Copies of this chain bind each other. A is one copy, B any other.
Amino acid sequence: MMDEGIDRVGQLVPQMPVAEARMCRLMLMLGATIDRELEAKLKPNKLNHSEFLTLMILYSRPDGSSTPGELCEFTTQGATNMTRIANALVKRALITRGSSKEDRRRVLIRITPAGRRFVQKMLPPMFPQVGAMFGGFSAGDMRQFDRLLRKLAANLDQLGEQRLP
């Protein structure tokens, strides 16, 4: 369906890299699909993707804490949105927000015990889906897939750097 569309565009615009465009489109579609799937799983917990990611990063930290700036970097969110996310999670008492002693510009965000319990309760129901996504993938498939995705990631990193400096 999508393939036909791209093929036809390729006929009309002959210099187009058809195979690459197709792959690119596939990645976009799959990314969006996984995103939807994830959001559906999160909805019952009244979390969205970026709130979930933020909480998971805090959870994964040995000391359970970070700063908005750092969380922005790791989640690739803007600072504006991180403020909203923190507000939402603080309101639900999953994290706390306090100001740093050494640098009073900095805000210290920390996951609460309730936040940790919440994560531990929320994660396991997601496991079957995550497993099913890769049903029928052999060990070799997994290795290949990982390799190719990271190769693509490296290329994209290069592309991204060119635009900024």
Contact = CB atoms under 8 A, between A and B. Distances in A.
A108 interface: no
B133 A156 contact: yes
Interface string A3-29: 011101100110111011111101111
Interface residues of A, number: 68
Given A152-B133, A155-B134, A127 B17 contact: yes
A24 B28 contact: no
A153 B13 contact: no
B155 A136 contact: yes
Contacts of A20: 130-131, 133-134
Interface of A: 1-2, 4-6, 8-9, 12-13, 15-17, 19-24, 26-35, 37-38, 40, 56-57, 59-60, 62, 74, 76, 120, 123-124, 127, 129-137, 141-142, 144-146, 148-153, 155-156, 158-160, 163
16 contacts: A2-B74, A12-B59, A13-B124, A16-B127, A20-B130, A23-B142, A23-B149, A24-B130, A26-B150, A28-B34, A30-B31, A30-B152, A30-B156, A37-B159, A136-B155, A145-B148
